[in-house]
A = this chain, B = another copy of it.
Amino acid sequence: MEKFENYIDSKKEIFLEELKDFLRIPSVSSQSSKNQDTARCARWVANALKDAKMENIELLETGGHPIVYADWLHAGEKYPTILIYGHYDVQPAEPLDLWSSPPFEPVIVDGKIFARGTADDKGQLYTHIKAVESLIETEGKLPCNIKFMIEGEEECGSSHLEDFIINNAKKLECDYAIVSDTEWFAEGLPTICYALRGICYTELTVTGPNRDLHSGSFGGAVDNPINVLCQIISKLIDENGKIAVPGLYDKVLELSQQERDAFKKLPYNEEKYMKDLGVKALNGEKGFTTLERNWARPSLDVNGIYGGYTEEGAKTVLPSIATAKISIRLVANQNSEEVYELLNKYIQKIAPDTVKAELTYIHGGEPVMVDMTEKPIKACEIALKKAFGVEPVFMREGGSIGIVALFGSVLNAPTVLMGLGLPTDNIHSPNENFSLDNFYGGIKASAFFLKEISNEQYA
């Protein structure tokens, strides 16, 4: 056992009490009535970083809730600089009556701590603060340079984050970033997420006649924008479940056999998955499993559609306009703006001349993929195995995490997603909780990671 492990074991009670203090602050960033609490929480984090012997601690203004910054840069240039990201704000606790205990009064039940923000993200974030403390207390120094960047707007859209990172790129300069804000594939199965999908989010507006028409007086003569919109959407995915947009797959990085084999070994139960969703069958791109489709293949979803009369009963209208929000999830090495151009070109080609079809780019985010054989992933794998005694598994994620894409594009830093949550944590829901085993193990894993990433054998 390393010294820092003994230190962590000896401080369990204290660390837990500290975490409870952290959780008692209702830092709900989206509720302005909680603004004073959210500000207090930022100061609490700054103090915790100070207690952990971090330096240059600042509350940096963003226009919204501040970002807490701290660093420790004495390892020297020979050793890497690691940026640790987390967020001190939490989701609203409502509906309160569905909680078994008050959301801001943490309680321990069956080895789990229950409170809003336990897993998302206070408990996970706090493991890193306690890891650097444990290393400094037991070894007098850190094995690498460290920068903390803890934001307070993750649960309300991180609207100031991109500007902040761009404006503070020099201050945030690093070799790698680490984020603990995701979850394990299953309990007892430490998990490294090495790829996230990106997104290209658009809105399609189909305009037909210059006014709403009576569907009796014009039906059959004038093309109906809703019918046309549905025709266009139906042509976006072909009979094999592939997106029919020409060129869309040109840059797609194909899954390696190694990845496909690894996914197959995960404890995934398709019957249980379908039962939980209440569906009798799944659907997607032919030739790929469900996990492959969701994690590693582009997918197209209509996220919203609207046109004509949608209230109760009937109105015999042939509307002037129909709109749909259409998004495509992207995988490495696709680019959101390129995909928008391809989609728009295809839609203009298939839209009939009876209507005007306009595709607006709403937003985009780039896919992220860290090579599994690269240093930070390797270091993370070893750290998790040492901390939890179990060989970690590798997964991808179907969604996007904006911060990871930003670290890649602005700071040119690969990010390791060393999530510590469990699928049963109820994040964003009542009775949010976090496993104490994962909390204590996570502190060790963070410390091991910092040591491993600094080990010259990976340099």
B229 touches A216 (CB 8 A): no
Q: Which residue of B is nearest A208, CB measured?
A: B279
A6 interface residue (CB < 8 Å to B)? no
B316 touches A220 (CB 8 A): no
Q: Mark A298-320, 1 if CB is under 8 A from B, else 0.
A: 11111111111110011111110
Q: Which residues of B contact A266 (CB under 8 A)?
A: none
A457 interface residue (CB < 8 Å to B)? no
B327 touches A215 (CB 8 A): yes
Give the distance to chain B from A199, nearest Cβ to Cβ, in Å: 7
A352 interface residue (CB < 8 Å to B)? yes
A59 interface residue (CB < 8 Å to B)? no
Interface size on A, residues (CB 8 A): 78
Give the distance to chain B from A402, nearest Cβ to Cβ, in Å: 11
A348 interface residue (CB < 8 Å to B)? no
A284 vs B223: C-alpha distance when bound (angstroms): 7
A227 touches B278 (CB 8 A): no
Q: Which residues of B contact A219 (CB under 8 A)?
A: 294, 299-301, 327, 329, 398
A305 touches B279 (CB 8 A): no
Q: Which residue of B is nearest A318, CB measured?
A: B301
Q: Which residues of B contact A224 (CB under 8 A)?
A: 301-302
Give the distance to chain B from A233, nearest Cβ to Cβ, in Å: 4
B227 touches A299 (CB 8 A): no
Within 8 Å by CB of A318, from B282, B284, B290, B303, lies B303
Q: Which residues of B contact A279 (CB under 8 A)?
A: 208-210, 222-223, 354-355
A306 vs B310: C-alpha distance when bound (angstroms): 6
A51 vs B281: C-alpha distance when bound (angstroms): 72
Nearest 6 CB-CB pairings of A with B: A216-B399, A220-B299, A210-B278, A234-B234, A304-B308, A230-B233
By a beta-carbon cutoff of 8 Å, the part of chain A in contact with chain B is 197, 199, 201, 208-211, 213-224, 226-227, 229-231, 233-235, 237, 277-285, 290-291, 293-294, 297-310, 313-319, 322-325, 327, 329, 352-355, 362-363, 397-400
